[in-house]
Amino acid sequence: MTKTERLFRLMQTLRQLPPPVTAEQLAQDLGVSGRTIHRDIDALRALGAVIDGAAGFGFTLIEDATLPPLGFGATELEALVLGLCEVQQKGDPDLAEAARTALRKLRARLPQSQADRLQHAVLSAHSFAPPLTPMVDAAMLRQATWDERQVGFDYVDAKGDATQRQVKPLGLVYFDKSSVLVAWCLLRQDFRVFRLDRMRALVVTETSFRPHRVKLYREALEHLRNQTYS
């Protein structure tokens, strides 16, 4: 294995293993000595990689735009194309446009042979019935979810009953026919799922529920799975 190949493998290993990764772990994975790993870490840093850590503490890779593009396997490229095509089909307008932009950027940064494979991929995704259009600003709702801010909105359920809701937004799920918000509902004091096409008059409040979103979202998904399979 050449030094260049070893550096590429080192980068991939740093990406894949949970950080911090010790030099011993890296040496075992690449089949080299710990001293070689330390020299290679220095070489990657000289090329522009931002790698936190030091001997005895382990290393954490922070992606850096100055690094040369790394290649993907053929199947990885097909998976990327399929996933981004599906986002274009099912995502809200901002997400769909982001997927198109991501494909263009990815094609521009790949080696020519892989860029051609990306452009002429044999896999794609198509929906004959486009999902229902969200009646609120999905981008604003996503940002409120990331910011962990409570939101308010008007909601009409399947029976046509209208209510006003205040919720802690936890995550968005994109299904074939509709997109839903998974949230903790302050009115019902329980986890609830709200279809975006039935929501109106979205308001993002200043009330924060940080740092509980991740824990609540995990509990919400478990709660919904239990409801589904019970």
Which one-letter DSSP state was computed for residue 154? E
Is 151 within 8 Å of 207 (Cβ atoms)?
no
Task: Report how far residue 133's alpha carbon sits from residue 137's, in angstroms, rounded to the nearest whole number.
Answer: 10
The tokens describing 108, both together, are 């521009």
The tokens describing 92, both together, are 């809200």
Topology (CATH level 3) of domain 3-61: Arc Repressor Mutant, subunit A (1.10.10)
Task: Report how far residue 46's alpha carbon sits from residue 175's, in angstroms, rounded to the nearest whole number.
Answer: 45
Is 182 within 8 Å of 117 (Cβ atoms)?
no
The CATH architecture of the domain made up of 138-229 is Roll (2.30)
CATH 1.10.10.10 in the chain, residue ranges: 3-61
User: For the whole model, what pTM was predicted?
Assistant: 0.63
CATH 2.30.30.100 in the chain, residue ranges: 138-229
Ordered per-residue pLDDT tens for the chain, 230 residues: 777 888 888 888 887 788 888 888 898 888 899 889 999 898 888 877 888 886 677 888 876 544 445 557 778 888 888 888 888 888 888 888 888 888 887 776 677 767 777 777 777 777 777 788 899 999 999 999 999 999 999 999 989 999 999 999 999 998 878 899 999 999 999 999 999 999 999 999 999 999 999 999 999 999 888 876 54
